[in-house]
Amino acid sequence: MNAVDDKTIVREYFNSTGFDRWKRIYGDGQVNKVQLDIRQGHQQTVDRVIDWLKADGNLQGLSICDAGCGVGSLSIPLAQAGAIVYGSDISQKMVHEAYQRASAVLTPNNHVNFAAQDLESLSGRYHTVICLDVLIHYPQEKAADMISHLASMAEDRLILSFAPKTLALSVLKKIGELFPGPSKTTRAYQHREADIVRILEQNGFTIGRQTMTSTRFYYSRLLEAIRR
């Protein structure tokens, strides 16, 4: 499968069954145990990013690009904390949901804009560019291009999360692939941390804070890359 196919499939998925599934996971209604585990793991990743940014003490007025923003799980609290946020997503439906969720809780003093746009076509410069749990949908070569593009928009910092390629996770994934069923979604790609770090360094960044969130069904490595 080539990268163009991956992108088309991902877009269609997040505008159909994927939208329904992830809207529930990224919500507060009732979900099954696996989805609850993923919801809690993802929330830990989001909370960690917010903690890092708040700890810096300059969130007020900071320009942030949230690429692949989903339903706004990160964009909305960042706007509430005073950042000027531009959230975008390849899925029209995800963006519409993000807009509705933002409208329900934000005030005119908060600054967030949402647009349906794939991250490869984004432009502009932001103090911080963030891309959480998106690279999992793309193979290494495509992910490298995406990271380089995001890096070109980041004046100071790029924060990324990805599913790390480790032996244990590769075995788990193989087992999952033996049992294809209705819950099967898009293909999930893991990435070698060394590859991601190399791409970031080639783009002029150095690794800052880092963490790993692992629950039973959610694995996400979070890296902060700072422009040298």
DSSP 8-state code for residue 218: -
Tell me whether residue 79 or residue 134 sits nearer to ligand SAM (CB atom): 134
Query: Largest Cα–Cα distance of the chain, in whole Å?
Result: 51
Site for ligand SAM in 5-24 (CB under 6 A): 7, 10, 14, 22
Query: Site for ligand SAM (CB under 6 A): how many residues?
Result: 22
Nearer to ligand SAM by Cβ, of 128 and 194: the residue is 128
Calculate helix-pair angle for 3-14, 140-153, nearest 10 degrees.
Answer: 70
- If the CB atoms of residues 7 and 206 are measured against ligand SAM, the closer one turns out to be 7
Residue 114 pairs with which residues in a beta bridge?
87
- The SS3 of residue 148 is helix
Decide: is 101 part of the binding site for ligand SAM (CB under 6 A). no
* Binding segment toward ligand SAM, per CB under 6 A, in 27-35, 51-59, 131-139, 201-209: 131-139
Complex with ligand SAM: residue 77 or 200, whichever CB lies closer: 77
User: Cβ 107 to ligand SAM, closest distance in Å?
Assistant: 22
Closest to 89 in 3D by CA, of 71, 64, 66, 116: 116
φ/ψ (deg, to 5) at 20: -60, -45
Q: Other CB atoms closer than 10 Å to residue 171's CB: what's the count?
A: 10
Asked if residue 134 binds ligand SAM (CB under 6 A), the reply is yes
* Contact pick of 53, 86, 129, 133 for ligand SAM (by CB under 6 A): 133
Among 39, 137, 191, 221, binds ligand SAM (CB under 6 A): 137
Q: How far apart are CA 115 and CA 50, in angstroms?
A: 22
3-state SS class at 188: coil
Tokens of 141: 């070569």
* 124 Rama sector, left if φ>0, alpha if ψ -120 to 50, beta otherwise: left
Interface pick for ligand SAM out of 12, 37, 118, 193 (rule CB under 6 A): 118
For ligand SAM, which residue of 73, 128, 203, 213 counts as binding (CB under 6 A)? 73
Q: Which spans of this chain sit near ligand SAM (rule: CB under 6 A)? A: 7, 10, 14, 22, 26, 67-70, 73-74, 89-91, 94, 118-120, 132-134, 137
